[in-house]
Amino acid sequence: MECAPPGRSFPDQPPQHLPRLGHPRTRRRPVLVRPRLRQGGGYRIKESFFFPHIGLTDQECFDLAVVTRLAEGQGIPLVNEACHVRDKLIGTLPTKQQSLIAEASALFDILTVQSPDHAHCRQVMRALQEALIAKTQIEGSYRSPIDKVAKKVSLQPRRIFLCHGVWYLVAHDNKSGKTKLYRLARFESSTVSKKPLTISPSFSLRDFLGNAWAVYPGDRDFHVELHFDREVAPYIEETQWHQTQELEPQKDGSVIFRATVSGLEELKYWVLSWGPRVAVKKPKELAAEMVRLATELLELYR
């Protein structure tokens, strides 16, 4: 920045060729010109002029700290870039709100036990994001638990979603002609193809999942009725386990759980996790499966 010679100062004048800023009655030029400063003059910014801060409330700052802390702790894997956005944003905030975000972030810890490792999925996620935005297909290598070697896949992506800490892709498989579910962690490679989508861009994830207990819908719906005893009833009542659930508290403190579930494969292991604290009333197929699993457990430990 150019300065006046020692012992001299030059008067500041507003430059005539710059537009005025703000309301007509209050607007002021933030740039001042020094016409006699060396050859051609010079410019400076008024000390009193600052760009306005982003208008975040304290609650918005607190929520930002919580969300990005989740990303840092991999509670929501593959969204680490949100932390970089937060760091850039913090520099534009008043000192008070900068301190609020730092203090709020320090109040939270994220435990990542029982969470799948998505560290190697960043390249896959970026390829899928690019394909979804560009409405193009992808080629890749995918290995499911039942495959001995990875298989080549040609897919038309429909949606990426997160469920129970796991990232999934819903995509149209060009080979089978069916829409299938894929875990991102099982992709060994993926590349964006130049081929455009040949299927309708409209898609409903809710319609695809139907009444699945989690993410894998079965071939048919079952009307489920479970009787949880009084010891675990409070845990059942405090959580929304399924979109169709209905709870009927009993006089003895127990609770009847009812829901319409597509398929029993995911549900049966959840029921099994409650052990003798739950009795299956309906459907008979689920009750029979519990008997089979209990018999296998008995034989295993006998």
Q: Residues near 59 by Cβ (< 8 Å), separated by ≥ 6?
A: none
pLDDT value of residue 73: 65
- The DSSP result for 5-48, as a single string, is PTT-----B--TTSPP-S-TTT---SEEEETTSSTT-EEEE-TT
Q: Is residue 157 part of a domain?
A: yes
Burial of residue 107, with CB atoms counted within 10 A of its CB: 0-12 exposed, 13-18 middle, 19 or more buried: exposed
Specify whether 141 is located in the same domain as 198.
yes
Amino acid at 275: G
Per-residue pLDDT at 248: 98
Residue 5 lies in a domain: no
**pLDDT-derived band at 194, boundaries 50, 70, 90:** very high
Residues 203 and 225 in one domain: no
Half-sphere exposure of 16 (CA within 13 A, CB side): 1
Give me the percent of the chain exceeding a pLDDT of 90.
Answer: 53
pLDDT at 192: 96
242-297: pLDDT as tens digits: 999 999 999 999 999 999 999 999 999 999 999 999 999 999 999 999 999 999 99
Token representation of residue 94: 């008043």
Summarised one tens digit per residue, pLDDT across range 116-167 is 667 678 888 889 999 999 999 999 999 998 888 999 999 999 999 988 888 9
The predicted pLDDT at position 24 comes to 46
| β strands within 46-177, DSSP E | 136-142, 151-163, 166-173
The residue among 106, 139, 173 that closes a domain is: 106
The 178-183 sheet, strands edge to edge: 178-183, 166-173, 151-163, 136-142, 187-196
Residue 1's pLDDT is 45
If asked whether residues 237 and 264 sit together in one domain, one would say yes
Per mean pLDDT, which range of 1-15, 32-46, 225-239, 264-278 is the poorest?
1-15
Report the chain's mean pLDDT, rounded to a whole number: 84
Q: What is the pLDDT of residues 200-213, one digit of tens each?
A: 888 999 999 999 99
Question: Of 184, 208, 232, at which residue does a domain stop?
Answer: 208
Is there a single domain that holds both residue 200 and residue 238? no
CA distance 29 to 201: 50
For residues 258 and 241, give the distance between their C-alpha atoms in angstroms, rounded to a whole number. Answer: 11
For 67-81, 83-97, 228-242, 285-299, which range has the lowest pLDDT when averaged over its residues?
Answer: 67-81
Q: Which residue has the higher pLDDT, 105 or 161?
A: 161
**Domain ends where: 163, 181, 208?**
208
Domain residues for the domain of 184 are: 119-208
Judgement on whether residues 176 and 241 belong to the same structural domain of the protein: no
* DSSP SS3 for 224: strand
Collapsing DSSP to helix, strand or coil, 84 comes out as helix
Q: Domain tally for the chain?
A: 3
Does residue 21 carry a pLDDT above 70?
A: no
Residues 99 and 140 in one domain: no
Beta carbons of 274 and 267 less than 8 angstroms apart: no
Query: Per the domain annotation, does 4 fall within a domain?
Result: no
Does a structural domain hold residue 131?
yes
What is the rounded CA–CA span in Å between residue 247 and residue 104? 36
CATH number at residue 177: 2.30.30
One domain for residues 167 and 101: no
pTM, whole model, 2 decimals? Answer: 0.74
Within-domain flag for 283 = yes
Tell whether 94 and 139 lie within a shared domain.
no
Which pLDDT value is given to residue 23? 44
Q: Are residues 204 and 124 in the same domain?
A: yes
Same domain, 93 and 123: no
What's the CATH code of the domain at 273? Answer: 3.30.70
Q: Residue 10: its pLDDT value, please? A: 45
Q: How far apart are CA 122 and CA 184, in angstroms?
A: 9
Q: Do 126 and 185 reside in the same domain of the chain?
A: yes
pLDDT at 115: 66
In a domain, 86, yes or no: yes
My answer on whether 249 and 203 are in the same domain is: no
Is 113 inside any structural domain?
Answer: no
Note whether residue 255 is domain-resident.
yes
